[in-house]
A and B are shown apart, each in its own frame.
Chain A
Amino acid sequence: MRRMPFILTLLASLLLFNSLVHAQNTGPTTVTIALTDDPPSGDPHKTRGANGGHLLFNLFDGLVELSGDMMSVTPALATSWEQIDDLTWSFTLREGVKFHNGEPFTAESVRYSIERVLDPNAVRFNTDFRQIGEVDVVDDYHVLIHLKTPDPVFIAKIAGLHMVPPVYTASVSEEEFGAHPVGTGPYKLVEWVLGQRLVLEANDDYWNGRPSVDRLIFRPIPEASTRLAELQAGTVDIITGLNYDAIPLVDADPSLRVEANSGRRTVMMHMDLLNGAKPLQDVRVRQAMSYAVDRQLLIDAVLNGYGTPLATIFRPDMAGYSADFQPYPYDPERAKELLAEAGYPNGFTIRFMTSDGIVNKGVEVAEALAAMLGDVGIKVEVLPVALQVMRDMYIGNPDPAGGNVEPLFMFNYGAAIPDATSPLKALIQTGGIEAFYEDPVMNELINEYGSETNVEKRNQVAHEIQEKLYNDLPVIALYLQLDTYGVNERIDWKARKDEYILGKDIALR
């Protein structure tokens, strides 16, 4: 019994010591981020999708980089560049940059990386660089890039062309490189356990200064409510894919907040106009459908306000966007008139394929649209399916003449740069990978837009394209979808338009 006080004292001092240690804990700062899934690979030339981007844009750099709002291009591995003529670009490279494995970054790295992307015998998911011809190494820190065709947005596109170290990359298999990627980026990969975690550590030698957060941990958590619970428990600092329905829960918690970006994805009702349902082939019907939709109500009621109405698939930040075209006003009377003119005074019946994966709350959005279209007499039967079913049906349709797909379907397009060439070529131009439309004039205009380097002329072409998109409605644009994130208040971070979560954008409060 007499020893009790001694033991108690010992315990008390241990506890005190322990808490002192904790109070003085100045260990590495860690930010944990919940993703919806594992990134598929660490190979920047073989990965696509948002989950891949979170990894790649932390590990790698391009010659230039795009700001978080996509509005400006700033120097990265190139310090300056110059367009010599329509087809030739000259880059001056940053000196003294090293890859994570110590390999120096030089003009040779640029040549090797670009040739690796363009390798015709390898599977590459990025097709934005087909216009690149040859790369000339002038000296260690100067390269010339020759284009096969003029590209007005070349400089923005190459922000996504990541530089890999030639010696290391050539010495390992592509599989090995994907599992152990090496770049020049602000973070380096230290551990990757598929299905569990991805650990990145700040690069002490980063050319733009060491980032302030020492460690980033990405955890793949497929279930949205589980991600939310992790955020509420304080075990995760940022969650991606926050459900709109969960926003009030996050708002109600003083230690959490909601962040949203300015929207990369345009949401639309897409249609098979080559061989789909007959009523849709009449432009008046399509216009009636556009008049029948109350875009703002849709955004407020279904998306908790996280959306911006759109007139066409041109996002307001895209080159050549014109404010002359405003979203069709909600006018059910006009819609009924147009339907009657088109010969459908009593409307018609059509199926509408959608998925929760193709746009946020895709099924509820489609049901709301169905109700609005129902008000003007178009009876819409919503057909909810898995995202994969839709992708399998609509992307790269084996029959370019259309007709073997559901004629009306929900779609989204998230262009990676503020330019409409890629969505126009994919969605509108005949032969595009998800296009069901044929208009020779439009096809020609899209080619012009894609290659015209004179800004004024290009804007004129863009205006013509938007006018046609607005009047002929090859797709019925609905709104710009904003991505929402749940964030712990200890984190200082703003969501980027490109959807990626980058350690260099994060600071602790």
Chain B
Amino acid sequence: MGRYVVRRSLQAVFVILAVLVVTFILLRAIGDPARLLVSPEGSRENLAQIRHALGLDVPLHVQFVRFMADAVKGDFGNSFTFGRPALGLVLERMPATLLLTLVALGLAVPVGMLLGTISAVRRNSVYDNLATTLAVLGRAVPNFWLSIMLIVVFGAYLKWLPPSGFGTWKHLVMPAVALSAGLAAMVARLTRSSLLEVMGHDFVRTAKAKGLTESRVLYRHVMRNALIPIATVVGLQAGHLLGGAIITETIFAWPGVGRLLTQSIYNYDYPVVQTSVFVISVTFVFLNLAIDLLYALIDPRIRYE
């Protein structure tokens, strides 16, 4: 187990380094931030002055060496747009993103599993059809559309919830629902098929034959075995939630890293994009590591040696 963790952590560091390099190169390929910053009423001298101040007038490899040398020391440079340290800007936004994704995850998994279990247990009943329809809808409806519909109905029309912003639990409801819908639907469908598959196994028949109650069979024997594929998918999708948060945060004016990242990409704000991508990839990589280690807890057959 220990050796496995060390090996995976080293891999993680390598992945993160690779992400930094790729982000650096891709960003420089998209365009010149100085041209976005200069006033349209400005002059060419003004443009050169800005380019110099941002350190963009030196060759790319020099910029890269400077960037890596500073990054190792924890200095990710100052935001081109806000003039403040990029790392501070990103870390300041991190709690809001974590709150949103964790709540969305905490919403999606139980709701999805409940729907999936109802479907599997009452297979081909009205409940099954209803749950399956919901799951298909949840998967098919685009995140931004659902978000806007929620805002229009519950924010503007019914006025039950604040349309956007951050601060109270009320602000959290709609973005969390919007972000969790897709994952909940996926978990529901997976739970259903996974449960049905396990239910067909011999040991389930044996358990029933022993005289165990329906619910005991379901929770002790079926659920436990059906959990493994669900955990895998949830683990993979948790990272994607961070990606979905980019859209959700922008629509709900949620002050998270995703929105900062979108804004910074639009502004060609290299330092902030680099730092956001760095922080998000660190989170992603370690989340995956944690999920892998969780397997061992769910399934005693899995051992890391």
Nearest chain B CB to A241 CB, angstrom units: 13
**Nearest chain B CB to A231's CB is how many angstroms away?**
8
Q: Which of A179, A196, A220, A233 has the most CB of B within 10 A?
A: A233
A396 to chain B, nearest CB (A): 4
Inter-chain contact B162/A235, CB cutoff 8 Å:
yes
Among residues 380 to 435 in chain A, which have CB atoms less than 8 Å away from a CB atom of chain B?
386-389, 391-392, 395-396, 413, 415-416, 422-423, 426, 431, 433-434
Instruction: Produce 1/0 per residue, B247-285, CB < 8 A to A.
Output: 000111101100110110011100000000000000000
A391: chain B residues at CB < 8 Å are 35-36
A128: which B residues are within 8 A, CB to CB? 41
Q: Among the listed A195, A219, A228, which residue makes an inter-chain contact with B259, where contact means beta carbons less than 8 Å apart?
A: A195
**Which of A196, A223, A228, A416 contacts B41, CB < 8 Å?**
A416
Name B164's contact: one of A175, A230, A416, A423 (CB within 8 Å).
A230
Q: Mark A215-236, 1 if CB is under 8 A from B, else 0.
A: 0000111110110111011110
Is B156's CB under 8 angstroms from A228's CB?
yes
Contact B44 A396 (CB under 8 A): yes
Q: Is B304 an interface residue (CB 8 A)?
A: no
B124 → chain A closest CB, angstroms = 40
Minimum C-beta distance from A125 to chain B (A): 5
Interface of A is mostly: loop
- Does B211 belong to the interface (CB within 8 Å)? no
Known: A195-B260, A235-B162, A416-B41. A225 touches B148 (CB 8 A): yes
B31 located at the interface, meaning its Cβ lies under 8 Å from any Cβ of chain A in the complex: yes
Residues of A within 8 A of B157 (CB): 232
- B225 CB-CB contact with A under 8 Å: no
Determine the residue in chain B with the shortest Cβ distance to A221.
Answer: B253
B139 contacts A by Cβ under 8 Å: no
CB <8 Å contact, A431 and B165: no
Best-surrounded residue of B43, B47, B267 (most CB of chain A within 10 A):
B43
- Select one of B40, B89, B159, B167 contacting A395, CB under 8 A: B40
With contacts A40-B82, A174-B83 known, is A127 near B39, CB below 8 A? yes
Residue of A nearest to B166 (CB): A196
Decide yes or no: A220 and B253 within 8 Å by CB, A229-B163, A235-B163 being known contacts. Answer: yes
Question: Which residue of the partner chain B has the closest CB to A236?
Answer: B163
Closest-by-CB residue of A relative to B257 is A195
Tally A residues with Cβ within 8 Å of B: 53
CB distance from B208 to the nearest CB of A (A): 52
Residue of B nearest to A253 (CB): B156
A156-179 CB mask vs B (1 if < 8 Å, else 0) is 000000000000000000110011
**What distance in Å separates the Cβ of B33 from its nearest Cβ neighbour in chain A?**
9
Nearest residue, chain A, Cβ from B157 = A232
Chain B residues near A48: list those with CB within 8 A.
39
Q: In the complex, what residue of chain B is closest to A394 when comparing beta carbons? A: B35
| Known contacts A221-B253, A413-B40: A392-B32 contact under CB 8 Å | yes
Closest 5 CB pairs of A and B: A195-B255, A392-B31, A232-B156, A229-B156, A229-B163
Given contacts A38-B82, A125-B46, A395-B47, 14 further A-B pairs with CB under 8 A are A37-B263, A38-B263, A130-B43, A178-B83, A195-B259, A222-B250, A222-B262, A223-B251, A226-B251, A230-B156, A234-B159, A388-B267, A426-B40, A426-B42
Q: A: which residues have CB within 8 A of B?
A: 37-38, 40-41, 43, 46, 48, 122-123, 125-128, 130, 174-175, 178-179, 193-196, 219-223, 225-226, 228-230, 232-235, 386-389, 391-392, 395-396, 413, 415-416, 422-423, 426, 431, 433-434
